A and B are shown apart, each in its own frame.
Chain A
Amino acid sequence: MRRFLRNKNFTLGFALSAAVVLMAVVSLVWTPYDGNRMNARERLQGPSWAHPLGTDQYGRDTLSRVMTGAVNSIIVGLVTVAIGLTIGVGLGLLAAYRGGMTDEAVMRLSDLLFGFPAVLTAILITSILGPSMVNAMLAIGIFYIPVFARLTRAVARVVWEREYITAARACGIGEWAITRRHVLPNILSPLLIQGTIQFAVAILAEAGLSYLGLGTQPPHASWGRMLNEAQTYMSANPWLAIFPGLAIAWAVLGFNLLGDGLRDTLDPRMVRMR
């Protein structure tokens, strides 16, 4: 643990992302106001004691919306990374121990998916399936599959070359059992690092899709959508855009730093370099 805390990236990243998670958890039980409740008399107010982050064009409390938006972002991050991890890691492991045609097929399929610009394809998918948060998560999640598949295959193949694997094989343990008992535990740290970074990317991607109107649908709060709605009000009421923008920057920075910190501390090669 001390090793982690000595790393500046990790400490800062952990603090920032913990704040986001905390905000999201708190918002599940309490927000200053109902973030979807409109109020014609209190529209477009600047920050005040009653509304620390001001109110939007419908008189909704921005702080409450930023808080519920955090839940939205975290759900998107978790679900997309989960999609990428389960399918991508499965495919990667399969490619690593089967090799040959399976390996080729999985890798070429990954290349194919990588060949498309991620955001454009996400737009394509959401415009076919219809704009919604679920479809946005699906679109982002699909793109995470090759990311995790490639990583898993690469690190798993290294593990497969190790002597203890040869030993396990000599004992007559089956390939799946080896994968489960020896390979997977040994590739967990790169997956964890990658997962954290992809988490940050997902928050950004969801904000982008919602900004384009393809992600979270109104009236649900999403940071990207808040930016979109703020657009025409921005010159007169800049805080409408500043706070959701800050929230996005904060969360993305936090999870990225956390990922960097994890890599610095968990990656044995990096440790040796110090």
Chain B
Amino acid sequence: MKKAMVIVLVMLVAASLSWAAVETPKKGGSLVLCVGDEPPGLDPTASASAAIDRVVYANIFEGLVKVDRDGKLVPGLAAKWEVSADAKVYTFQLRKGVAFHNGEPFNAQAAKWNLERGAAEGTKNAHPEFFRIIEKIETPDDATLRLTLKEVDALFLFRMAEGDSVMLPMKGFENTAAAPIGTGPFRFLEWKRGDSVSMERNPAYWNPQLPYLDKVTFRFIKDPSAQVAALRAGDVDLIGWLLAPELAKEIGKDKRFKVLSGASTSEVVMSTNNKVKPFDNQLVRQAMAHAIDRKAVIELVMSGYGTIIGSHWPPVTPYYKDLTGRFPYDPKKAKELLAKAGYPNGFDATIKLPAIYPYSQRAGEVIADMLGQVGIKLKIEIVEWGFWLDRIFKQKEFELSMIGHAEAWDIGIYANPNYYFQYDSQEFRDAYAKALKAATEGEKAKWFGRCQEIIAEDAVNGFLFLAPALSAMKAELTNWWQDYPTIALDCTQVWWNK
């Protein structure tokens, strides 16, 4: 009798599970989601701002390839592609019958024009190097695009999946920053400055099954408490990037909502100016690395959400090397290293924190306390975002700062001695060059691993934690990305289960 019951139960569970698996998404409905930062424009090919990608990438614009919710490369406007044996020739088969929202066709010529535009002299693209590596662009027919690279670039396909590489229409590109026209599942409706950007379903999308939603509105709400209040009041359906992790548990307790905590690609680091005394001394930087209790940082800053990192590489990205054990929390060791570096009594320094990001201010305060324990007295200066971009990022007038580096595959910034933290290492540049030219997976893993090791050993920046991808939404909202392996808030496959 009991056995029979168990069997029935198992069958019931199995039935309900399989029913859930085949549950078909429902079409219709609109989504209002809120994000913290309003983008400075809507053209992802003309600015490095992550706020732009979060609104338009994969929603309005698409590139040849895409990164899916698991961080894997999947077809975008190219249905498939082949890479030659020497890893230099990429042949893309483009989707046929794809049109921009203004009716212009997307074909090999349009793709060629976009790639040339990115590489052109005086381009506004934040990453012209993505395109300048292309030596030759051939378009044998409307649906075939053949690219020959000057040299092997292990990250080329990932580069083509970035917001900087999306396809714009050849005729209708002029006004992209204000009224973008792309090929994506949603077409631009309206941008109410200071309030919201809205978009509607693109009925002519190349995948007739998608998207499920009729309308998507991105609302810009900066204050973390106001975000949560808006969610509770029903003004927004989803918070794409929960700024106050301390509120996550509480929202999760409310049956009307659910919270997803996944991985992002945003490494939060204590940026260190490697050209300024005493931070030009490797021993000082290593001492600081020993003085930081990363576990406590995550607890104090992010209410426990987030992942410890030991180098500038997200654990969700391929070729990750776990270096979190290199500098364990050890204040005694930190003091010894400081003494060895010639600062037995520590020193005074200033940390400049951008006011715009709560995590940055909090992490700054926590780090100041921890470094204070080993004699490094930090003065905290909270600065406006514009000031940060100008004085710290451009003019490099700083000693320490705190910021999340949101892009995936961005370890290359350490190969640029003019980047704001001014790290200058031939050893790293060599390893990075080798990694980029690696043709096999094994070689890639080896050299990208080496890159991570070198900067970890040099303690270039204070590597703290990977920001969690925290999103909070109404319980009926289905299929939202849990992890954010690329900078996007992709609404393509989201639907309402009600």
- A235–B382 alpha-carbon span in the complex (Å): 26
B381 at the interface (CB under 8 A from A): yes
- A219–B365 alpha-carbon span in the complex (Å): 6
Given contacts A38-B366, A232-B244, contact A131 B382 (CB under 8 A): yes
Question: Would you call B380 and A213 a contact (CB within 8 A)?
Answer: no
- A37–B381 alpha-carbon span in the complex (Å): 19
Question: Would you call A40 and B295 a contact (CB within 8 A)?
Answer: yes
- A81–B368 alpha-carbon span in the complex (Å): 33
Q: Which residue of B lies closest to A43 (CB)?
A: B300
Could you give, for residues 162-175 of chain B, a 1 whenever the CB lies within 8 Å of some chain A CB and a 0 otherwise? Answer: 00000000000000
A36 at the interface (CB under 8 A from B): yes
- A36–B372 alpha-carbon span in the complex (Å): 10
Interface residues of A in 1-55 (CB under 8 A from B): 36-38, 40, 43
A189 at the interface (CB under 8 A from B): no
Contact of A219 (CB < 8 Å), options: B249, B295, B380: B380
A102 at the interface (CB under 8 A from B): no
- A236–B246 alpha-carbon span in the complex (Å): 9
Interface residues of A in 228-268 (CB under 8 A from B): 231-236
Interface residues of B in 345-376 (CB under 8 A from A): 355, 358, 361-362, 364-366, 368-370
A59 at the interface (CB under 8 A from B): yes
- Give, as a whole number of angstroms, the nearest-CB distance from A239 to chain B: 15
Contact of B300 (CB < 8 Å), options: A57, A232, A236: A57
The interface centre, meaning the residue of B225, B249, B355 with most chain A CB atoms within 10 A of its CB, is: B225
Contact of A218 (CB < 8 Å), options: B293, B295, B361: B361
Chain B: number of interface residues, binned into ranges: 20 to 34
B299 at the interface (CB under 8 A from A): yes
Given contacts A40-B300, A219-B380, contact A235 B250 (CB under 8 A): yes
Question: Would you call B382 and A217 a contact (CB within 8 A)?
Answer: yes
Question: Would you call A58 and B361 a contact (CB within 8 A)?
Answer: no
Q: Which residue of A lies closest to B353 (CB)?
A: A218
Could you give, for residues 210-236 of chain A, a 1 whenever the CB lies within 8 Å of some chain B CB and a 0 otherwise? Answer: 000100011100000000000111111
Question: Would you call A40 and B246 a contact (CB within 8 A)?
Answer: no
- Give, as a whole number of angstroms, the nearest-CB distance from B180 to chain A: 33
- Give, as a whole number of angstroms, the nearest-CB distance from A257 to chain B: 33
- A219–B371 alpha-carbon span in the complex (Å): 13
The number of inter-chain residue pairs (CB within 8 angstroms) is 55
Question: Would you call B224 and A232 a contact (CB within 8 A)?
Answer: yes
Question: Would you call A219 and B382 a contact (CB within 8 A)?
Answer: no
Q: Which residue of A lies closest to B244 (CB)?
A: A232
B296 at the interface (CB under 8 A from A): yes
Question: Would you call B381 and A217 a contact (CB within 8 A)?
Answer: yes
- A4–B300 alpha-carbon span in the complex (Å): 50
- Give, as a whole number of angstroms, the nearest-CB distance from B337 to chain A: 22
B247 at the interface (CB under 8 A from A): yes
Given contacts A43-B299, A58-B300, contact A219 B246 (CB under 8 A): no
Given contacts A233-B246, A235-B250, contact A58 B365 (CB under 8 A): yes
Question: Would you call B225 and A37 a contact (CB within 8 A)?
Answer: no
Given the complex, which residues of A lie within 8 Å of B244, measured CB to CB?
Answer: 232
Question: Would you call B246 and A213 a contact (CB within 8 A)?
Answer: no
Interface residues of B in 223-279 (CB under 8 A from A): 224-225, 244, 246-247, 249-250
Given the complex, which residues of A lie within 8 Å of B364, measured CB to CB?
Answer: 218
Question: Would you call A40 and B293 a contact (CB within 8 A)?
Answer: yes
Question: Would you call A219 and B368 a contact (CB within 8 A)?
Answer: yes
- A75–B352 alpha-carbon span in the complex (Å): 26
- Give, as a whole number of angstroms, the nearest-CB distance from A37 to chain B: 7
- Give, as a whole number of angstroms, the nearest-CB distance from A21 to chain B: 28
- A219–B380 alpha-carbon span in the complex (Å): 8
Given the complex, which residues of A lie within 8 Å of B225, measured CB to CB?
Answer: 231-232, 234
- A57–B246 alpha-carbon span in the complex (Å): 9
Could you give, for residues 275-300 of chain B, a 1 whenever the CB lies within 8 Å of some chain A CB and a 0 otherwise? Answer: 00000000000000000010110011
Question: Would you call B299 and A40 a contact (CB within 8 A)?
Answer: yes
Given contacts A43-B300, A131-B382, A213-B355, contact A232 B246 (CB under 8 A): yes
Given contacts A40-B300, A58-B365, A232-B225, contact A218 B246 (CB under 8 A): no
Given the complex, which residues of B lie within 8 Å of A37, measured CB to CB?
Answer: 369
Given the complex, which residues of A lie within 8 Å of B365, measured CB to CB?
Answer: 58, 218-219
Given the complex, which residues of B lie within 8 Å of A58, measured CB to CB?
Answer: 300, 365-366, 369
Question: Would you call B299 and A218 a contact (CB within 8 A)?
Answer: no
Q: Which residue of B lies closest to A127 (CB)?
A: B384
- A40–B369 alpha-carbon span in the complex (Å): 12
Given the complex, which residues of B lie within 8 Å of A232, measured CB to CB?
Answer: 224-225, 244, 246-247, 358
- Give, as a whole number of angstroms, the nearest-CB distance from A135 to chain B: 12
Question: Would you call A38 and B369 a contact (CB within 8 A)?
Answer: yes
Given the complex, which residues of B lie within 8 Å of A236, measured CB to CB?
Answer: 246-247, 249-250
Given contacts A40-B293, A40-B299, A43-B299, contact A213 B369 (CB under 8 A): no
Could you give, for residues 197-221 of chain A, a 1 whenever the CB lies within 8 Å of some chain B CB and a 0 otherwise? Answer: 0000000000000000100011100
Given the complex, which residues of B lie within 8 Å of A57, measured CB to CB?
Answer: 246, 300, 303, 362
Given the complex, which residues of A lie within 8 Å of B300, measured CB to CB?
Answer: 38, 40, 43, 57-59
Q: Which residue of B lies closest to A38 (CB)?
A: B369
Given the complex, which residues of B lie within 8 Å of A235, measured CB to CB?
Answer: 247, 250
Contact of A217 (CB < 8 Å), options: B296, B299, B369, B380: B380
Question: Would you call B250 and A218 a contact (CB within 8 A)?
Answer: no
The interface centre, meaning the residue of B293, B296, B381 with most chain A CB atoms within 10 A of its CB, is: B296
- A130–B370 alpha-carbon span in the complex (Å): 26
- A222–B296 alpha-carbon span in the complex (Å): 24
- A212–B296 alpha-carbon span in the complex (Å): 27
Could you give, for residues 119-132 of chain B, a 1 whenever the CB lies within 8 Å of some chain A CB and a 0 otherwise? Answer: 00000000000000
- Give, as a whole number of angstroms, the nearest-CB distance from A56 to chain B: 10
- Give, as a whole number of angstroms, the nearest-CB distance from B464 to chain A: 14
Q: Which residue of A lies closest to B372 (CB)?
A: A36
- A236–B253 alpha-carbon span in the complex (Å): 12
Given the complex, which residues of B lie within 8 Å of A40, measured CB to CB?
Answer: 293, 295-296, 299-300
- A242–B125 alpha-carbon span in the complex (Å): 50
What are 30 residue pairs bridging A and B, where the CB atoms are less than 8 Å apart in the complex?
A37-B369, A38-B369, A38-B370, A40-B296, A40-B299, A40-B300, A43-B299, A57-B246, A57-B303, A58-B300, A58-B369, A59-B300, A130-B381, A131-B382, A213-B355, A213-B382, A217-B382, A218-B361, A218-B365, A218-B368, A218-B380, A231-B225, A232-B246, A233-B246, A234-B225, A235-B247, A235-B250, A236-B246, A236-B249, A236-B250
A residues contacting B by CB (< 8 A) are 36-38, 40, 43, 57-59, 130-131, 213, 217-219, 231-236
- In the A-B complex, list the 10 residue pairs whose CB atoms are closest, starting with the nearest: A40-B296, A232-B244, A40-B299, A38-B369, A218-B365, A232-B224, A218-B380, A232-B225, A58-B300, A236-B250
Given contacts A38-B369, A38-B370, 9 further A-B contacts (CB under 8 A): A40-B293, A40-B295, A40-B296, A57-B362, A131-B382, A218-B361, A218-B380, A232-B224, A232-B358
